[in-house]
Amino acid sequence: MKKALEKPEREIILRVLSAFHGSRQATAEALGINRTTLYKKMKRYSIKMAEA
């Protein structure tokens, strides 16, 4: 189940990052998580700032 949620979660993070023009602080707030958690998820899903 966890594996099945990875792609949708990655896409959500990318969309929210894009909506906030790459602002990780605003993205974390919008997602209801702290910045550290966002950074960990970005690393796990190999999200680079250039993708956002």
Q: Report, in angstroms and rounded to the nearest whole number, the Rg of the chain calculated over CA atoms.
A: 10
The domain in which residue 20 lies consists of 2-51
Q: What percentage of the chain carries pLDDT values higher than 90? A: 81
Q: How many CB atoms lie within 10 A of CB 42?
A: 20
Q: Predicted confidence band at 30 (pLDDT cuts at 50, 70, 90)? A: very high
CATH number at residue 8: 1.10.10.60
pLDDT at 51: 56
Q: Mean per-residue pLDDT for 28-46? A: 97
Q: Which pTM does this prediction carry? A: 0.86
Structural domain count, the chain = 1
36-42's contacts with Cβ under 8 Å and 24+ in sequence apart are 38/13, 41/9, 41/13, 42/13
